[in-house]
Structure 1
Amino acid sequence: MKTFPEINRRVLLRRALLLAGAMALPMSSKTVLAATAEPTALSAPMFALLGAVADTIVPQTDTPGAVDVGVPALFDALIKNWASPARALALTSALAAIDKSAMDVAGRSFTALSSAQRHDILSAHDSRALAPAAPLTAIDSAPQVKSLGALMNAGPVAEPAYAKLKELIVILYYYSEPALTQELTYEQVPGEWVPSIPLTPTTRQTGGAGLF
């Protein structure tokens, strides 16, 4: 399975270490939250939009997708238990911006579109949002806001809130048991580093406790 668009999974797994707030929830609580379809922090329309976006970023293929493993419910729990008011507003605004893109292009909300339409609209939105941010001018000397991804990679992006939204969706997906055991080849403690191995259509990346 490939995420949307192709994402450096090793970088995302490293970033997962920084999500200490998410790990404050015990695994039993995560299981319960993943099983429920009722949001506790997001409104019902926003929760539905989140589900549609998550399903587009990590769709179900031969392995479970983001919705299958309960990412929307876990994300909702993050909004309630982890995110500051400013962070929560930024994330919901990023979702609303995706919905606006759908309305501008297709005249309908993102949730009302077909899977193919969602993919096309989110792909275009993704390219704009993750483009490098414009450099500061002499007039605007305020420091640029950087997402975690920007800090660890090339630099600030045009829409840091969208970068964080996408990052959280993918990280929460890879916290799930199905992602670790079906999408990745799970090894509790991976062995020696082999820099070059044959790749086939069935080759999957390795995940496990040893990576952390």
Structure 2
Amino acid sequence: MTAMLNRREAFVGALAGLWTIPALARAQGGLAVLTWRPQALTVEEAQTLMAACERIVPATDTPGAIAVGVPQFVDRAVAEWCEADEAQRLRSGLVGLDVQARARFGAAFAALPAERQDELLRAAEAEADVFATQQPPQPHYFLALRELTTVAYFSSQPGATQALRYDPVPGEYRGCVPLKEIGRTWAT
């Protein structure tokens, strides 16, 4: 006799499955399980990227970087838009961030608590500031990471409409205004 699931049993089973995902993530060292396939990054680099993006633009009363797809945008930029040296610098920076996390705190960057992640990102930002003062200024992965993260976030619909003030039609539109109300037109 085969047993068939009714909707309630299927729902309870799916819910139980959802509860096990965080447990599996903790069992894997607290690393987030990727729900997308990286194009240019390794899985480890993508996990570091996700954690770093979320610390750069964390969830507050608006969605954070992960919720709006910033890591996927950055990965796609590395795969399709960045020049080879820029892409390699960003990837090496993500690997270096993870190496520093393991050396200082004994865990992958993505598995660290937010305070430790912030500490490492502040150190990377300080290092980028030093690189910028050299003659000639030297590029640093953190500047590219921060720029790609903010561009991706504020280009997303939630970033543009919830985090920023959004007015789809600024001001009143008045078409076909008589010329006598306007006067002469502008030269520049």
Q: Which secondary structure does the structure 1 equivalent of 2:130 belong to?
A: coil
The C-alpha deviation readout for 1:149-199, integer Å capped at 9, x for no partner, is xxxxxxx3x6533211211111111100001111111023546xxxxxxxx
Q: Does 1:67 align with 2:47?
A: no
Between the aligned partners of 2:38 and 2:54, the Cα distance in structure 1 is 17
Matched-pair contact (CA < 8 Å) for 2:68–2:158: yes
Give the Å deviation of 1:100. 2.7
Give the root-mean-square deviation of aligned CA atoms.
2.0
Aligned: 1:162 with 2:142? yes
Structure 1 residues 1-212: aligned runs within 5 Å = 37-131=36-130, 133-136=132-135, 144=136, 156=137, 159-188=139-168, 190=170
Larger mean CA deviation between 52-61 and 127-136 belongs to 127-136
Deviation at 1:79, TM superposition (A): 1.6
**TM-score with structure 2 setting the length:** 0.65
Please say which structure displays the higher CA radius of gyration: 2
Q: For 2:96 and 2:128, how far apart are their aligned partners in 1? A: 10
Matched-pair contact (CA < 8 Å) for 2:124–2:142:
no
- From the superposition, tell whether residues 90 and 132 of structure 1 become closer, same or farther in structure 2 (CA, over 3 Å): closer
Q: Matched residues in 1 for 2:83 and 2:134: separation? A: 28
Q: How high is the sequence identity, in percent, across the aligned residues?
A: 36
Please give the alpha-carbon distance, in whole angstroms, between the structure 1 residues aligned to 2:133 and 2:52. 26
Would you tell me which structure has more helix in proportion to its own residues? Answer: 2
Amino acid corresponding to residue 167 of structure 1 in structure 2: E
> Secondary structure, in 3 states, of the residue corresponding to 1:180?
helix
Structure 2 unmatched runs, 5+: 1-34, 172-188
Unaligned runs of 5+ in 1: 1-35, 137-143, 145-155, 192-212
* AA matched with 1:77: R
